[in-house]
Structure 1
Amino acid sequence: MKTPQTQTWTKYKKIIFRVSLIYFLIQALPLDWKYFRTVFSTNWLAPHFQDLFRLTTYMPSFISPVSLWGIESFINWFVILAIALIGSFIWGLADKKNKEYDKLYYWLRVLLRYRLAIAIIGYGVLKLFKLQLPEPALSDLQTSYGDYLPWKIYSLSTGIGSAFYEQSIGLVEIVAGLLLLFRKTATIGASIIIFVLTNVVIANFAYEIGEHVYSAYLLSIALFLLAYDLPRLYNVLVKRKFTKAASFKPVITESWLRNFRIILKSSVVLFFIFYGFKTYAGLADHWPFPKTAGLKDSYGFYNVSEYKVNNHEIPYSLTDSARWNNVVFEKWNTISIKKNCLANIDFSSPVVDYEADRNYESAGNAGRHFYTYQADTISNRIELFGKNTKGGKLDFHYSRPDNITIILSGKNVANDSLRIVLTKVDKKYLLNEGRRKPIKIN
């Protein structure tokens, strides 16, 4: 690789570059041992899309933050910056001869282009198939707005966006990531990503989504990449002056290096094609909702028309904290119950990771009590396992005298006998009916 004639850098430019090089190398290269633990623990014979996604979201974490919010959540950034400052100081003392670092600057941008492309395409594919922000479940449509955590409101409101809103964002992210793979279009790709990630970072802080550190990390890479061409863009677009092209252009003469570039780009593209197929398979897996099918023909909203405890009927009440008000049977093996008391809210943030109980539906929701269930259709038994409150288990015998009624008989955790009659309501939702279709609200 030949190095063309370049200009001498100023003292301060060299200092800033040394710090930036060390800082971004630590941020971008997989130096954290936990990353390799993930790589070697993955079943590569049958990987899930979550396995592949986790490979795209690397960010070093040498110290566990005391708090997930506030300045403390960026503790690892400060640690890495301190290392970069010390390393830059030592480097400056040892290197008095180099007048510029154009070659190193070029390869640093190459590394960051690929790092950012891998990260942004990873999220773009999730959005393209609506797995990151899925549409609301039926239980969500029966939950009061004020019973949600902010991140759940953002997730649900984005998931119902019309005109392929989420898919369009995903497609933009994928295209921008692909543009980063090529030097001539990298600035365009970085500019697009800055517009996208600025909104993402703001949303993370405003709605407490929990990915503010990672999204800000990606935004910092995009800004660094754009900074290289920013003075020229300013002269052309704002001052409308004649502007010279980039002063440093690599001249690659070695055949092995040219072949390596082709192999590297092809590997990234092939990885994401494979990742795309695996992510598409996640649709059939109903991710992030449970994949086990629910009780046949039970899906719907039910009023609790009768609620008896020890053969004593408790009438419908707006204050009784024990009585069930209504029940939702999802298409999968989950039911949610509305009571006159808030559920134990799951404060965990949304993550694309393995979840044995797939708690996305109950996370961030304090308005309904969620249960996963196992139904024995031979003996007509149904066991409920609490998702909001671990260890809460209810065992019922069920009967279905007609296609709109489910009768549950069993005992509660206090060993009191229960008889609960659920009556399905043919409830219409404007979200499903559409604004341009005639609808009558009863």
Structure 2
Amino acid sequence: MSEVTTLEGLHEETHVAHHIKNPPEWKAWQKVAFRISFVFFSLLCVPTNLAWYTRLFSIDFAHFQWRIFYEFANFSTNFYRVSSESGRWGIASYVNWLIVLIIAVVIGLTWGLFDKKRKQYNVLYYWLRVIVRYRIAVGIIAFGFIKLFPTQMPYPSLSVFNTNFGDLMPEKLYWASVGIVPAYEVFLGFVEVFGGALLFFRRTSALGAIIIGGISINIAYANHAYDGGVHVYSAFFALLSLFILADHLPAIWNLLIKERDTVPVQHYPTLTKVQRYISLGVKYAIVLSYTVVFFYFRLYNHLYLHYDKEPATAGLSGTTGYYNVTEFKINNVSIPYSPLDSLRWQDAIFEKWSTFTFKVNRPVKIDLSNGSSQKKDIDRNYELSGSAGGRRFFYYDADTVNHILYLQDKNTGTSEEGGAAAGGARNNARRGEGNSSNQNSARSGGRASGAGRGRRQSDAKGEKLVLHYTRPSDSRIILSGVNDKKDSIYVVLDRVEKRYPIVEGRRYAQTFTP
């Protein structure tokens, strides 16, 4: 495999290529730096987790799912995890980079002892850049599609709108502030997908690296500031982009700073005809898979499957809204409103999907994740993640014939099991999709969609309630049944028409009076 140096001008007619029999010898420090860099970036870009390979060889092509593209692109080197706040959100979360660097230094220096006569590594350097370019491209495109079809940061739910500002974790506030402007999230996704696609091609790799490097640094910074939890992964793309860009910096410096005519110099190996056909076949198989095919599956999911972070099952018809708890009885004893009462509900919310929430002065464990797109509605935890304030989240199944709600607690546990206080989320408590059909088909016996399965979906969830409901009017719902303490409860809910300045817009906010 001989080597070619290509001089690429601004026009095709200036393109010149010639073989170099004796390429210039690299300096000693360049060879040492390359050996270490080769091992370092190879370990970062090539999966080291056996589970990744297990998934690879267990693909069921008879039931091919779009999630496969995401799973294979979304991996990171993980030798060790520091179990601390810094290990989750801070500088200690980069410990695996340090481990990889140490391994790279040891192997790189050892490599040099057995390869002292090598004059240059132009061919290996070319293939390393190919690996890094493709790792950025497939990873950032998969990352971008969950924004392009806005599912990474969903539109805030009614429960978020009615949670006190101090009871929301920084990550939840940041994601909600992006999710409430879907067009902006779509734009961010487009930039990531576009920049990633540029990195598939050598001639546009510099522009792609600039775009992805810039946006990835911004994402990493924002995740450090708001404890979003994907700071290491986004910083990973920034680091790889800087590596790709480093090869172009001398030419960019000469062109833009020194204002000199510049002809980029590219080193790459010549390939035989068969090798060229194989490389082109592999290249365009990856390119088409992660642009055209992946786009189709993501679009199909967005339009029909609704495999998102928020539940897909439609809620009880006509109930969506915020409700005051007008009357609350336990064992036929009326309990007056008090924000300090640990039994009485303070308010309640029916989401447009099959989630019912109520606020009570009782600690609940805060879900510190940023949510995930699970196959089953009851396991979709984004709506409750990052929220405190004592709000309880229940998945429900509505039997519309017998007027019964079957509810199952979505919270992972109470503070007695190690949770945080309901009075507010601690500011120092810090920190993205399979194939499912839309579960909106009616169930036999009049039971609303999918929830019979829901009650069996996760036995590890919390309490289960069975409540009868009546609807004297469109704005009133009366619930009665037995709570988790086996006490009878009677609850009268009256809907309140609320307007939210952040939804109405700036001009409405200027005239808003509570």
TM range (shorter): over 0.9
- Give the structure 2 partner of residue 348 of structure 1: 369
Question: Which letter maps to 1:269?
Answer: V
How many angstroms does 1:432 deviate by? 4.0
| Native 8 Å contact 1:383 1:393 kept in 2 | yes
The two structures, once aligned, show a CA RMSD in angstroms of 2.2
- Give the structure 2 partner of residue 180 of structure 1: 199
Distance in structure 2 (CA, Å) of the matches to 1:288 and 1:131: 7
Task: For residues 326-358 of structure 1, give each alpha carbon's deviation from its aligned partner in whole angstroms, at most 9, with x where no partner exists.
Answer: 111111111111223453211223345666611
Question: Which letter maps to 1:53?
Answer: Y
Q: Aligned to 1:68, what secondary structure does the other structure show?
A: helix
- Give the structure 2 partner of residue 264 of structure 1: 282
Is 1:306 the counterpart of 2:377? The answer is: no
Distance in structure 1 (CA, Å) of the matches to 2:497 and 2:398: 24
| Native 8 Å contact 2:475 2:494 kept in 1 | yes
Distance in structure 1 (CA, Å) of the matches to 2:181 and 2:197: 25
- Give the structure 2 partner of residue 360 of structure 1: 382
- Give the structure 2 partner of residue 422 of structure 1: 493
Taking a change above 3 Å as real, the CA distance of residues 302 and 214 of structure 1, as seen in their structure-2 partners, is same
Report which stretch shifted further, 9-18 or 407-416.
407-416
Distance in structure 2 (CA, Å) of the matches to 1:433 and 1:395: 36
Q: Aligned to 2:240, what secondary structure does the other structure show?
A: helix
Aligned residue among 46, 71, 76 for 2:96: 76
How many angstroms does 1:239 deviate by? 2.5
- Give the structure 2 partner of residue 196 of structure 1: 215
Question: Which letter maps to 1:95?
Answer: D
Is 1:139 the counterpart of 2:156? The answer is: no
Structure 1, unaligned runs of 5 or more: none
Equivalent residues in 2 for 1:5-404, closer than 5 Å? 5=20, 6-66=23-83, 67-161=87-181, 164-246=183-265, 248-250=266-268, 252-272=270-290, 273-283=292-302, 284=304, 285=306, 287-351=308-372, 357-367=379-389, 368-388=391-411, 389=413, 390-404=461-475
Taking a change above 3 Å as real, the CA distance of residues 182 and 386 of structure 1, as seen in their structure-2 partners, is same
Report which stretch shifted further, 95-104 or 380-389.
380-389
Distance in structure 1 (CA, Å) of the matches to 2:27 and 2:512: 73
| Native 8 Å contact 1:50 1:353 kept in 2 | no
Report which stretch shifted further, 337-346 or 202-211.
337-346
Distance in structure 2 (CA, Å) of the matches to 1:440 and 1:95: 73
Q: Sequence identity of aligned pairs in percent?
A: 39
Task: For residues 30-80 of structure 1, give each alpha carbon's deviation from its aligned partner in whole angstroms, at most 9, with x where no partner exists.
Answer: 232111122234443334443321111121223344332444322322222
Q: Aligned to 1:293, what secondary structure does the other structure show?
A: coil
Taking a change above 3 Å as real, the CA distance of residues 25 and 262 of structure 1, as seen in their structure-2 partners, is same
| Native 8 Å contact 2:90 2:224 kept in 1 | no
| Native 8 Å contact 2:123 2:269 kept in 1 | no
Distance in structure 2 (CA, Å) of the matches to 1:41 and 1:331: 37
- TM-score by structure 1 length? 0.93
Question: Which letter maps to 2:328?
Answer: Y
Distance in structure 1 (CA, Å) of the matches to 2:75 and 2:255: 36
Report which stretch shifted further, 409-418 or 173-182.
409-418
Structure 2, unaligned runs of 5 or more: 5-19, 414-460
Distance in structure 1 (CA, Å) of the matches to 2:379 and 2:495: 27
| Native 8 Å contact 1:50 1:354 kept in 2 | no
Count residues with an aligned counterpart.
440
- Give the structure 1 partner of residue 417 of structure 2: none
Distance in structure 2 (CA, Å) of the matches to 1:353 and 1:417: 34
Distance in structure 2 (CA, Å) of the matches to 1:326 and 1:70: 36
- TM-score by structure 2 length? 0.81
